[in-house]
């Protein structure tokens, strides 16, 4: 039942063959049984049960009276821990915000709640979203549910799952130690909470930084999840976990209440098990928000369902040659080729195109990301909220201690780099230079779309999900440079992109392909992605054996 | 398998990467991170580099992004935001929110009578004598020396 799509689950709630309470319990049970994945850092089960109760009553009344159920009535979701949730811990997986409880909901979260969605918990991530493996978190790394051997399927009493115990004790002392700093310093294997039962570090990373949300969707804990996407943080883990991950056009979804990392690049991300499902969630969340002046105010976006019968004959699919990058695995290349062939066989016009500045995009991303991070992180001083160091000598001294203790080494490193690029003597050479290159990257996309291309087709990642021990053998920046290679150019241009599972590799792991659309033409892109999904018939991960 | 290889011949996906090789020798030198620069960055960032590894990492980032130097950006305007062609919505200057004092201070560690509390101000950071020469011991404890 937990492998159903959001759409199927809703129709079962509607016809009464499934109750909202039952569904909620199933999801909670799955979350508990897959606890080793470390996908959920703050469970909100009692709140979820209350919401499900209300939903169950609403559904039972629906049809009999004038009351009607809301669009997501009783549907369990998971929210990445960098979206503010009223009264629920929002930590960004950082010591800095370990005790932060927001007094308000992020706009996108509120819109889901307004439509009756049930929050099951907050999901794990790289600290402040700075990472691509979901391994740099104070809660320890997220494990990819694919090819994962669950060692612990016993039921854990509800009482042990409250927030305080989770915050106080990450999965094992080894993890707590190992992940406090840069993951480079982690000895391979320290992340394994069950040494001996698993080959140390042999499990796969979930990708990042929204790895908890992707793993939760893949494992059947929820039917949809929020991630965020600054350079690929939604698409990368979606690809590794075999789910659909959407990065909307910049300005379509409000960022109010999303704890900022890189304002000019990031958008809320949507994850689910089908293209229709991400479309449904986007419809619910998209639109003007007076709390975010960058949201669109015109009617360039219309909410609608995607068509069932899709014809790709009239379409022009572009294959950017630069996306065959050094390090692309044969499996991914093969999947990419087959997808291109499918479109061609179905009558679409498929051509090779060029986006010449692709290889410089990741460098440009590093500079802009560090600069905005340096500026954004200036808000954390330990006074109004966040970790406060035990230091009363002077304000400055207290600031320095709070920040030093509150941020991990990756965050601190990016602050330094950002402040270096922003020094008066470096501003032109690094910051402005990167902004100029950013325009060239955006212009590359504009040009191919002006030439008649409707949608671009590329790989999402170089390979399938890497092993944890391999991933942590290099530092955060090195991994970012490889992991975000195909995803961050899209953030540079602000355009939409979606990753769709394309099949399994010889390792039995999922890989995704990325469709890139034109600004605010998210629907067109999603329609193409849905056609591809229909051709592939990807089989979602099924963990129903854990129920026994 | 046979079907696959036939279709490869027709494929529009290039068979090999076409990235430009960058001659590292033609890139600008990474400026030396002198003690002055390090101290300035620490003051601006209000965090410490911690150790030599932190300085090395910054050097590597700079080295990496120096490759941007090879891109010709003459006459290209910097791009601040992809919304540059749009007018941002401004709401009327009316008070629409308020009476949330409790909410505002609910996350502060230290408050007195609804005020945030800060230690004495206008005292410059203490100068700590540090040496970012290479460590002799391993860097496995590099993450959290300040606790």
Where along chain B do its domains lie?
A: 21-71
Q: Determine the distance from the C-alpha atom of residue B139 to the mean position of all C-alpha atoms in its chain, rounded to a whole number.
A: 22
Instruction: Give the count of beta carbons closer than 10 Å to the beta carbon of residue B95.
Output: 5
CB pairs below 8 Å between A and B: how many? 236
Question: Lowest-pLDDT range, A153-157, A172-176, A501-505?
Answer: A172-176
List helix spans (H) across B26-134: 35-45, 52-65, 101-105
Smallest Cβ distance to A434: which of B18, B68, B83?
B68
* Backbone φ/ψ region at B122: left (φ over 0), alpha (ψ -120 to 50), beta: left
Annotated catalytic residue within A33, A80, A122, A523? A80
Q: Please check the confidence at residue A454 and state whether its pLDDT lies above 80.
A: yes
Asked if B12 lies within 8 A of A417 by C-beta distance, the reply is: no
Upstream peptide bond of A209 is cis (omega within 30 degrees of 0): yes
Q: Which of A342, A285, A299, A295 is nearest to A319 (CA)?
A: A342
Q: For A345, name the nearest residue in chain B, comparing CA atoms only.
A: B7
pLDDT value for B138: 42
Catalytic (active site) residue A209? yes
Backbone angles phi, psi at A249, to 5 degrees: -55, 140
Q: What is the DSSP letter of B101?
A: H
For residue B143, pLDDT beyond 80: no
Q: What DSSP designation does A127 have?
A: G
Q: Is A21 known to be catalytic?
A: no
Name the residue among A388, A373, A391 with its Cα closest to residue A95.
A388
Out of B13, B124, B146, name the one closest to residue A337 (CB): B13
Calpha distance B100→B106 (Å, rounded): 10
Residue B22 reports pLDDT greater than 70:
yes
Instruction: Measure A24 CA to nearest chain B CA, in Å.
Output: 30
- Asked if residue A101 has pLDDT above 60, the reply is yes
- How high is the pLDDT of residue A498? 98
> Could you report the per-residue pLDDT of A246-262, keeping only the tens digit for each?
999 999 999 999 999 99
Task: Say if residue B107's pLDDT is above 70.
Answer: yes
Yes or no: say if A76 and A118 are a contact pair by the CB < 8 Å rule.
Answer: yes
What local confidence, expressed as pLDDT, does residue A106 receive? 98
Tokens 């080295």 correspond to what residue? B63
Q: Which of A295-309, A418-432, A440-454, A526-540 has the lowest mean pLDDT?
A: A295-309
Residues 6 or more apart in contact with residue A74 via CB below 8 angstroms: A13, A20, A23, A24, A51, A52, A55, A56, A58, A59, A116, A118
**Bridge partners (DSSP) listed for residue B116:** B111
Burial of residue A378, with CB atoms counted within 10 A of its CB: 0-12 exposed, 13-18 middle, 19 or more buried: middle
**Region for residue A320 given its phi and psi (left: phi exceeds 0; alpha: psi -120 to 50; beta: otherwise):** beta
Question: Using CB atoms and an 8 Å cut-off, which of residues 439-468 of chain A contact chain B?
Answer: 439-440, 442
pLDDT digits (tens, 9 = 90+) for A118-155: 999 999 999 999 999 999 999 999 999 999 999 865 44
Least confident of A56-65, A244-253, A479-488, B1-10: B1-10
Average pLDDT over residues A97-104: 97
Contact B47 A404 (CB under 8 A): yes
What's the mean pLDDT in A178-184? 36
DSSP string, A375-409: HHGGG--SSSSS---S--S-HHHHHHHHHHHHS-H
Predicted pLDDT at A432: 98
Q: Across the interface, which of A99, A366, A398 has its CB nearest the CB of B65?
A: A366
Give the residue, A195 or A36, on which the prediction is more confident. A36
Indicate if the pLDDT at residue A198 is higher than 70. no
CB A440 within 8 A of CB A357: yes
Q: Which chain B residue's Cα is nearest to A411?
A: B47
Give residue B137's pLDDT band: very low, low, confident or very high (50, 70, 90).
Answer: very low
Please tell me if residue A19 touches chain B, with a CB cutoff of 8 Å: no
Residues of B in contact with A399 (CB under 8 A): 46
Q: Does the annotation count A239 as an active-site position?
A: no
- CA angle A23-A26-A28, nearest 5°? 110
Establish if B10 touches chain A: CB-CB under 8 angstroms: yes
The confidence score (pLDDT) of residue A151 equals 81
**The pLDDT value given to residue A64:** 60
Report in angstroms the alpha-carbon separations of A283 from A71, A111, A249, A288: 10, 10, 13, 12
Residues A10-23 have pLDDT tens digits of 999 998 999 999 99
Distance CA A321, CA A318 (A): 9
Q: Find chain B residues with C-beta within 8 A of A381's C-beta.
A: 46
Instruction: Indicate the pLDDT class of residue A417, thresholds 50, 70 and 90.
Output: very high
Q: Given this model, what pLDDT does residue A383 score? A: 96
CA distance linking residue A378 with residue A102, whole number of Å: 19
The per-residue pLDDT for range B66-93, each reduced to its tens digit, is 999 999 999 999 999 999 998 887 888 9
Residues 64-83 of B with CB under 8 A from A: 64-65, 67-69, 71, 73, 76-83
**Residue A253, both tokens:** 């979804």
Question: How far is it, in rounded angstroms, from Cα A168 to Cα A171?
Answer: 10
Taking a C-beta distance cutoff of 8 angstroms, is the pair A341, B32 a contact?
A: no
- How high is the mean pLDDT of chain A? 91
A299 touches B at CB < 8 Å = no
Say if residue A326's pLDDT is above 70.
Answer: yes
Of residues B10 and A283, the one with the higher pLDDT is: A283
Instruction: Please pick, among A137, A193, A209, A248, the residue that the annotation labels catalytic.
Output: A209
Reported as a pLDDT band with limits 50, 70 and 90, residue A63 is: low
Q: Between A297, A382, A419, which is nearest B89 by CB?
A: A297
Nearest by CB to A384, which of B44, B100, B108?
Answer: B108
Question: Is the pLDDT at A343 greater than 90, yes or no?
Answer: yes
Q: In the predicted model, is pLDDT for residue A428 greater than 60? A: yes
Rounded-to-integer distance, Cα A157 and Cα A104, Å? 30
pLDDT band (50, 70, 90) for residue A66? low
Please report the pLDDT score of residue A185 as a whole number: 30
């Amino acid at each position: 039942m937990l492998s159903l799509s959001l759409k199927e689950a809703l129709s079962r709630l509607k016809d009464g063959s499934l109750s909202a309470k039952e569904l909620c319990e199933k999801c909670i049970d799955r979350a508990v049984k897959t606890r080793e994945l470390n996908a959920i850092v703050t469970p909100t089960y009692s709140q979820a049960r209350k919401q499900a109760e209300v939903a169950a009553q609403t559904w039972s009344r629906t049809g009999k009276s004038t009351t009607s159920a809301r669009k997501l009535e009783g549907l369990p979701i998971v929210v990445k821990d960098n979206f503010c949730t009223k009264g629920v811990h929002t930590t960004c997986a950082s010591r800095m915000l370990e005790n932060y409880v927001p007094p308000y909901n992020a706009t996108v979260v509120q819109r889901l709640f307004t439509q009756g969605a049930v929050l099951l918990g907050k999901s794990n991530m790289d600290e402040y979203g700075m990472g691509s493996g979901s391994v740099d978190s104070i809660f320890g790394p997220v494990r990819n549910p694919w090819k994962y051997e669950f060692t612990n399927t016993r039921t854990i009493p509800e009482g042990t799952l409250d927030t305080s115990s989770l915050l106080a004790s990450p999965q094992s002392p080894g993890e707590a130690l190992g992940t406090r700093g840069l993951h480079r310093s982690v000895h391979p294997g320290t992340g394994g909470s069950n040494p001996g039962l698993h080959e140390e570090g042999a499990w796969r990373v979930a990708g990042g930084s929204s790895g908890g949300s992707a793993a939760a969707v893949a494992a059947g804990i929820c039917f949809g999840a929020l991630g965020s996407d600054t350079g690929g943080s939604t698409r990368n883990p979606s690809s590794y976990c075999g789910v659909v991950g959407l990065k909307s056009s910049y300005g379509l979804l409000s960022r109010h209440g999303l704890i900022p990392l890189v304002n000019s690049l990031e958008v809320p991300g949507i994850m689910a098990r089908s293209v229709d499902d991400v479309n449904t969630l986007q419809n619910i969340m998209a639109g003007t928000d007076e709390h975010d002046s960058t949201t669109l105010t015109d009617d360039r976006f219309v909410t609608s369902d995607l068509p069932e019968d899709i014809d790709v004959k009239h379409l022009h699919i572009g294959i950017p040659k630069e996306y065959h990058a050094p390090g692309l695995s044969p499996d991914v290349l093969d999947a990419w080729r087959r997808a291109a062939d499918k479109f061609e066989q179905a009558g679409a016009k498929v051509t090779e195109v060029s986006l010449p500045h692709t290889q410089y995009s990741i460098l440009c991303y590093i500079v802009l990301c560090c600069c905005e991070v340096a500026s954004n992180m200036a808000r954390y001083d330990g006074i109004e909220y966040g970790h406060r160091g035990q230091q009363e000598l002077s304000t400055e001294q207290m600031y320095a201690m709070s920040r030093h203790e509150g941020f991990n080494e990756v965050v601190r490193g990016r602050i330094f780099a950002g402040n270096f690029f922003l020094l008066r003597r470096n501003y032109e050479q690094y910051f402005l230079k990167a902004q100029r290159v950013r325009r060239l990257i955006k212009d590359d996309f504009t040009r191919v779309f002006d030439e008649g291309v409707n949608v671009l087709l590329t790989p999402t990642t170089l390979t399938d999900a890497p092993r944890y021990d391999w991933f942590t053998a290099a530092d955060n920046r090195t991994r970012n440079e490889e992991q975000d290679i195909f995803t961050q150019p899209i953030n540079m241009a602000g355009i939409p992109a979606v990753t769709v599972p394309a099949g399994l590799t010889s390792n039995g792991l999922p890989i995704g392909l990325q469709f890139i659309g034109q600004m605010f033409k998210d629907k067109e892109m999603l329609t193409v992605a849905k056609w591809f999904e229909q051709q592939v018939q990807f089989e979602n991960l099924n963990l129903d054996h854990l129920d026994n | 398998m046979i079907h696959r290889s036939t279709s490869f011949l027709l494929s529009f996906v290039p068979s090999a990467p076409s990235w430009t090789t960058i001659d590292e020798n033609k890139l600008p030198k990474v400026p030396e991170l002198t003690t002055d620069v390090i101290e300035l960055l620490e003051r601006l960032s209000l965090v410490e580099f911690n150790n030599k590894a932190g300085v090395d990492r910054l050097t590597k980032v700079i080295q990496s992004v120096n490759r941007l130097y090879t891109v010709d950006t003459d006459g290209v305007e910097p791009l601040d935001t992809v919304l540059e062609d749009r007018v941002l919505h401004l709401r009327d200057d009316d008070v629409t929110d308020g009476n949330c004092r409790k909410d505002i201070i609910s996350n502060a560690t230290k408050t007195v009578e609804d005020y945030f509390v800060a230690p004495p101000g206008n005292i410059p950071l203490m100068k700590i004598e540090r040496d970012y020469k290479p460590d002799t011991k391993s860097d496995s404890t590099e993450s959290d020396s300040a606790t």
